[in-house]
Structure 1
Amino acid sequence: MARGELMKKLLASYGREDDFRAVAEQIILEEEQKNNRVLARSLRKTLDHATATSGNTSKPAQPKSLGALITFPDAGSDFVERVEPTHTKSDITLSHANIRVFTGLIQEFRRSDEIRRNGLPVRSKLLFCGPPGCGKTLCAEVFAVELGLPLFVVKLDQLISSYLGETAGNVRKIFEFARKQPCVLFLDEFDALARSRDDSAEHNELRRVVNSLLLFIDRMQTRGFMIAATNLDSSLDAAIWRRFDEVVWFDRPDLSLIAKFVSSKFCNSPVDFEATKHIHLLEGYSYAEIERVCIQAIKSPIIKRRKKITEQDFIAAIGDETRRRTGRARL
């Protein structure tokens, strides 16, 4: 939308908090798409501060955890929660293939208006697959930061109603919200919603939920992204896969990625040995498990009042993780 039209809408909405904030978010989004990140962050900080102080008026401010940028349709706030990212791209290690995928998605998002003007679709529906602890949730958070979009997480436990007939209606509400609000909408444990309809153990009503979900994804038009994540890709309905613009695979790291990840975790800690000599002991481990090893090793000199992490600290931490993982000590 032309900047002049946005400014007119902003002035016209003054006094109507929800409308005013929605137009302000559009202006911020345009600055983010132009890669004016400093200005966009400054505008968002000012907008968030104004919302926080609005509690002095007759209308109470909403909790920060529920980012009321646009009014949630039909009590949709019961199912969607805004999450403030705490990580950046320096906190994640990705394969070269995934770096290429995400770089392309970010560039495409920043040129989305030009792409649409040429009659072409913009990729906005992503499916993350892979074992637990391999970076799917962290990547969704970092992706939102890099795009400059708010991150909203679907509360799946509340979305799936004990009254089965209500679940499809609840799913509709989150897709309606994503249509109105430019954001990264994250659905973890997606297999709980999109389980194969061929599974004889599934209730007929849950099959109808999958039918509705397929329809909602097909019709979804958003200025942000929907990211679904699953550890159980083999359980997904066969018709789900083609509904996504991109499928991203998160595997356990190979030795080169383990070395890079361990080095990044120890970069601000004094170490008196070469940690990469022992990375073969971590082969087959997830990023979450390796991070736990590194944190335990970093804590050891603090507990023992030493200045540096020793080789024995690192080996002992690997041994603890092996015991936790297998039920017996390896080292």
Structure 2
Amino acid sequence: MARGELMKKLLASYGRDEEFRAVAEQIIVEEEQKNNRVLARSLRKTLDNSAPSTGAPKALAPLIPFPDAAGDFVERIEPVHTKNDIILSASNINVFQGLIQEFKRGEDIRRHGLAVRSKLLFCGPPGCGKTLCAEVFANELGLPMFVVKIDRVISSYLGETAANVRKVFEFARKQPCVLFLDEFDALARSREDSTEHNELRRVVNSLLIFIDRIRPKGFLVAATNLDQTLDPAVWRRFDEVIWFDKPNAAMIDRYLKLNFRNIEIDFDLHKYASHLEGYSYAEIERISTQAIKSSIIDRRKKVSGDDFKQALNDEVRRRSGLARLNQAD
């Protein structure tokens, strides 16, 4: 039986659907932790089949009260993008469709003694859709998204970083969500790197243990632009490694149409796709946005080819400056 305090909360929240479901979810989680799986499954089935009292869509994962221990390190992000706002390769679409179906049938899979894939590693250069994909993924699953604030997790005090990581993982263990760790390489850097100190090696040791042991109720998603710097032992801890590459010509063409879908233009977008090969989605979006701004500044109703060319030239200049900066490093 759930704790008396939770039962009081449940009764007190009657009639307030969102709050009622959140407390009910806590009771189910507590029964699962006690290994009362038959009861937990029955309760969850009843909760899922009950229609919300309002006309709002049913949430798959009501929020538990936010734990003070993780509050400094985790921030909730409200997803605003949908699958219509992202361009993925065919292979990545297949992977994500499989993950979504597996999540939805998770109870059946576990009943057969099998694990549901829930730990994902996103790899690829900056600006190629890793963060956006995590947001869209959370939206499609109906799960809240939380982003780990890596700068706060990493502490200057010996021993504190591993303790902070533990708090984050404890949060992910309890809360059904998509927990997103960007710049994962800051925590999981190779222990073979001679420039790293012993404290970071201890953090990596702890991190590997946490990833091994966690069975998130949603998904743990780590992302890195520097996959070559990750500790070799990290890779096998993840159920899936998903690669995000710079878009090819066909994907660029689709992305340009997406960027200008509500904008009047007087030039052929398709002919510019080949000029943008090798550019990231973030760079292409910056070019598109700047071209649109130019037409607004000049009080024109349509974006012209000259607007787009000038925006492209600005991006080329920006790239050249960054290239010189990287060579200097």
Q: Same fold (TM over 0.5)?
A: yes
- Residue of structure 1 equivalent to 2:210: 216
In structure 2, stretches of 5+ residues that fail to align are 30-43, 323-329
Task: Find out whether 1:69 has 2:64 as its counterpart.
Answer: yes
CA distance in 1, matches of 2:174, 2:85: 31
RMSD over equivalenced CA pairs, Å: 3.0
> Per-residue deviation at 1:21?
2.9
Change (3 A) 1:32 1:123: farther
Deviation at 1:70, TM superposition (A): 2.8
Change (3 A) 1:38 1:125: farther
Provide closer, same or farther for how the CA distance between residues 33 and 276 of structure 1 changes in structure 2, counting only shifts above 3 A.
Answer: farther
Q: Runs of 5+ in structure 1 lacking a partner?
A: 48-67
TM-aligned CA deviation for residue 13 of structure 1: 3.3
Which residue of the partner structure matches residue 177 of structure 1?
171
**Cα shift readout 1:208-240 (whole Å, capped 9, x = no counterpart):** 110110000000012100000000000000000
Three-state SS of the structure 1 residue aligned to 2:159 is: helix
1:118 equivalent in alignment to 2:112: yes
Letter matched to residue 70 of structure 1: P
Distance 1:275 1:10, change over 3 A: farther
Q: 2: distance between equivalents of 1:251 and 1:288?
A: 12
Supply the distance in 1 between the matched residues of 2:297 and 2:89 (Cα, whole angstroms): 35
**Which runs of structure 1 show a deviation greater than 4 angstroms over 4 or more consecutive aligned residues?**
9-12, 15-20, 24-27, 29-34, 36-41
Q: Check whether the contact 1:144–1:184 (CA below 8 A) recurs between aligned residues.
A: yes
CA distance in 1, matches of 2:53, 2:285: 31
- 2:220 is the alignment partner of 1:226: yes
**Superposition deviation, residue 43 in structure 1:** 5.0
- What is the deviation of 1:91? 1.2
Task: Give the TM-score, by structure 1 length.
Answer: 0.82
User: C-alpha displacement at 1:14, in angstroms?
Assistant: 3.4
Matches for 1:51-130 after TM superposition, within 5 Å? 69-72=64-67, 75-130=69-124
Task: Provide, for residues 131-177 of structure 1, a one-character-per-residue CA deviation record: whole Å limited to 9, x for no partner.
Answer: 00000011111110000000011111110111031111111111111
Deviation (angstroms), 1:24: 4.8
Q: 1:111 to 1:212 in 2, by over 3 A?
A: same
Partner letter of residue 111 of structure 2?
R
**Contact 2:21/2:47 (8 A) holds in 1:** no
Counterpart residue number, 2:277? 283
2:10 counterpart of 1:13: yes
Compared with structure 1, are the counterparts of its residues 19 and 237 closer, same or farther at alpha carbon in structure 2 (3 Å cutoff)?
A: farther
CA contact (8 A) 1:37 1:148 kept: no
Matches within 5 A, 1:25-64: 41-42=56-57
SS in 2 for 1:229: strand
1:209 aligns to what SS in structure 2? helix
Contact 2:9 2:23 in 1 (8 A): no
* Distance in 2, Cα, partners of 1:70 & 1:98: 34
Does 1:193 find its partner at 2:187?
yes
Aligned length: 298
